[in-house]
Amino acid sequence: MANKIIGKCPVCEENMSITELKCNHCQTTIKGKFTQGKFSNLSADQLKFVEVFIRSRGNIKEVEREMGISYPTVRNKLDEVIAALGYRVEDSPDDEKAEKRKEILDSLEEGEIDSSRAVELLKNI
């Protein structure tokens, strides 16, 4: 059984490169410099998150349920993956407001606050 290719050097944490490919059937070997793609930059935890996210078709509620994590944690994990893939993560004020609204509504649903307190908190966002 073959080992999984590692994307980062275990010594200095820089990207690794593939320099040889070999066919297991006919033994043809090709030497050169090959890229692994952006997903090789992801940690095992990030790959697991991406798998769950894709399987859930991006449904954050489903990701929350399957992984047993909160909405803010899902968002943070998604931002980490986006950054690891080399893209810029931008926080928008609307995202922060939506997150706060979600937390308030979750607290209401869990019985941690009553409806009048939820209304008050929602007005102050």
Domain borders along the chain are 1-36, 42-90, 91-125
Q: Say if pTM beats, i.e. exceeds, 0.75.
A: no
Give 75's contacts (C-beta < 8 A, 6+ positions apart). Answer: 60, 95, 99
Q: What is the pLDDT of residue 58?
A: 93
Q: What does DSSP say about strands 18-22 and 29-34: parallel, antiparallel, or unpaired? A: antiparallel
Using one digit for the tens of pLDDT, what is the confidence trace for 91-120? 766 677 888 888 999 999 999 999 999 999
Q: What string of pLDDT tens digits covers the 125 residues of the chain?
A: 667 777 788 899 888 888 999 999 999 999 998 878 888 888 889 999 999 999 999 999 999 999 999 988 998 999 999 999 999 988 766 677 888 888 999 999 999 999 999 999 999 88
Tokens in use for 12? 């200095």
Look up tokens 């990207």; give the residue.
15
Measured distance CA(49)–CA(69) in Å, rounded: 11
Nearest Cα neighbor of 103 from 75, 63, 62 is 75
